[in-house]
Amino acid sequence: MEHGMEEKEYLEVTAANAFCQAYSKLYRVNAAFDHINLPRKPDVTVCIDGTPQDIEIAHLYHDQQEAMRLKNLCLQSPSGVIMAAQSHHSNVPLLTDLVQALNELLTKKSTKSYQSHHPWLVIRNGSPKWDKRDFEIALRSIAVPKHHPFREIWVVPDLTARQGLIRVYP
């Protein structure tokens, strides 16, 4: 973690960097992290071919133990972290957990307002239990709320975006 950077900020910056790298590769454009924003704005601003774009970052984990183990998170902070299940029951399939977690996250984020025109939402998966294929299957069953503040919604299916990106909306 960089000196002086809080854990939440570190997670947001690393998520933005992973997103920018994958977005640059996908669209053959220059995309780079620019800065962390104040609380009334989305978490970070990136520049895509010189144009600033505000991005709200959310992290998705299977459960609280996984989140603590993988990222050493303080789960009491309003950092946009969503867990699929507080206690996983073996009879609930992992894909069902993923769909429920994505729907919960999208519902939660859809009610927020930001001092930004047309922000994007980037959801970064922090769970090794899910991969890009799981998200592609789960996205067939999610419900993006009709009213939300986001011009685009993306999933980064792994922590470093090695698996690329998945566009959720539009």
CB of 45 within 8 A of CB of 53? yes
Domain count, the chain: 1
- Contacts of the segment 16-21: beta carbons below 8 A, 24+ positions apart: 16/43, 16/44, 16/46, 16/55, 16/57, 16/122, 18/124, 18/156, 18/159, 18/160, 18/161, 19/46, 19/55, 19/122, 19/124, 19/154, 19/156, 19/161, 19/165, 20/46, 21/161
- 144 in any annotated domain: yes
- 36 in any annotated domain: no
- 67 in any annotated domain: yes
- 115 in any annotated domain: yes
- Phi-psi category of residue 4: left, alpha or beta, with phi > 0 → left and psi -120 to 50 → alpha: left
What pLDDT is recorded for position 61? 87
What pLDDT is recorded for position 7? 81
The terminus-to-terminus CA distance of the chain in angstroms comes to: 34
Closest Cα partner for 119 from 89, 166, 70, 154?
Answer: 154
- Which residue would you say has higher pLDDT here, 82 or 106? 106
Q: Beta strands of the chain (E only): which ranges?
A: 31-36, 44-48, 51-61, 81-83, 120-125, 152-156, 166-169
Backbone angles phi, psi at 11, to 5 degrees: -60, -40
- 165 in any annotated domain: yes
Q: What is the mean pLDDT of residues 47-73?
A: 84
- 141 in any annotated domain: yes
Q: Specify the DSSP element, H or E, that contains 73.
A: none
| Segment of 54-63, 82-91, 153-162 carrying the highest mean pLDDT | 153-162
* Residue 67 pLDDT greater than 80, yes or no: no
Average pLDDT, the chain: 86
pLDDT digits (tens, 9 = 90+) for 111-154: 999 999 899 999 999 998 999 999 999 999 999 999 999 999 99
Structure tokens at 89: 């029951």
Q: What is the mean pLDDT of residues 7-20?
A: 93
What pLDDT is recorded for position 94? 83
What pLDDT is recorded for position 50? 96
Residue 162 belongs to domain spanning: 55-169
How would DSSP label each residue in 5-43?
Answer: --HHHHHHHHHHHHHHHHHHHHHTS-EEEEEEPPTTS-S
- 120 in any annotated domain: yes
pLDDT digits (tens, 9 = 90+) for 70-90: 666 443 444 455 555 443 444
- 45 in any annotated domain: no
What pLDDT is recorded for position 1? 53
- Which residue would you say has higher pLDDT here, 61 or 106? 106
